[in-house]
Amino acid sequence: MSNEKLSIQVKDKEFIPYLSEETILARVKNIAVQLSEDFKDKNPVFIAVLNGSFMFAADLMKQLHINSEITFVKLASYIGTQSSGKVLTLLGLDTNVKDRHVIIIEDIIDTGFTLKKFLPVIKANEPKSISICSLLIKPESLQVDIKADYIGFEIPNRFVVGYGLDYDGYGRNLKSIYQLK
Ligand code: 5GP
Ligand code: MG
């Protein structure tokens, strides 16, 4: 079957299959194994950035076999398929992370502005360490000096939906990731 036939419509746009559910879950499991090794006996606190990372965070946590906590913050920068450049904190950090190992869970690093703005907020809470774990990164689109410690997939600079990522609020429930046609 050609990809043409499998293309899907989300609102007014057409998307084609890009990363299958199996591919994503295999990679998520890999990252979980790595994190379980690196943070064994360190009792880390995961901070998942809503909304986009909810599915990744859930699958990642299910594969972890170490003591850990998870909490959530809600940041927003996107309007439609374009980064607005401005980052809004819609739900802030409510967990004390002083002297804790913090692992930030992101769905995707695009320009990097979201993390650039959020990192000082975490640092101000004096954690023992901060690591960044992002399912996706668009290296061509990065505009700030941010280094992710755990990355699922490096992808080209094209808009994607599915597996938690939305187009104008829709498409988050898709089990795999689709790319704008
Ligand atoms: P950044 O601040 O790094 O430019 O963007 C980070 C946020 O923008 C991500 O957490 C995500 O919510 C959104 N974003 C960036 N690229 C895409 C994309 O290709 N698709 C979707 N759905 N969201 C994206
Ligand atoms: Mg996001």
Q: Whose CA is nearest to atom 8 of ligand 1?
A: 78
Work out the percent of the chain whose per-residue pLDDT is above 70: 93
In angstroms, rounded to a whole number, what is the distance separating the alpha carbons of residues 112 and 31? 21
Amino acid letter, 95: T
Q: Is 110 a catalytic residue?
A: yes
Instruction: Report whether 51 contacts 74 (CB < 8 A).
Output: yes
Contact 167/161 with Cβ under 8 angstroms?
A: yes
Buried b (16+ CB within 10 A) or exposed e, 89-118: eeeebeeebeebbbbbbbbbbbbbbbbebb
Alpha helices (H) in 39-127, listed in sequence order? 54-62, 113-123
> pLDDT tens digits for 44-77?
999 999 999 999 999 999 999 999 999 999 987 7
pTM of the model as a whole: 0.94
Q: Give pLDDT, residue 117.
A: 87
Backbone angles phi, psi at 121, to 5 degrees: -65, -45
* Residue 77 pLDDT: 74
Q: What pLDDT is recorded for position 153? A: 98
* CB of 166 closer than 6 angstroms to any ligand 1 atom: yes
- Does the C-beta of 23 come closer than 6 Å to ligand 1? no
Site to probe by mutation for ligand 1, drawn from 108, 111, 163, 172 as the one with most ligand atoms within 8 Å of Cβ, is 108
Query: 137, 139, 119: which is closest to 129 by C-alpha?
Result: 119
Query: 41-45, 81-85, 87-91, 153-157: which range is least confident on average?
Result: 81-85
At 90 the pLDDT is: 87
Give pLDDT tens digits for 92-129.
999 999 999 999 999 999 999 899 989 999 999 999 99
Lowest mean pLDDT among 81-90, 99-108, 125-134: 81-90
For the chain, how long is the longest CA-to-CA vector? Answer: 53
Q: 89 pLDDT band (50/70/90 cuts)?
A: confident
Mean residue pLDDT of the chain comes to 93
| pLDDT at position 83 | 66
Greater model confidence, 117 or 177 = 177
59 CB under 6 A from ligand 1?
no
Residues 6+ apart with CB under 8 A from 42: 66, 101
Residue 46 · residue 106 · CB < 8 Å: no
Per the CB < 8 A criterion, the answer to whether 53 and 169 are in contact is no
Residue nearest to atom 17 of ligand 1 (CA): 159
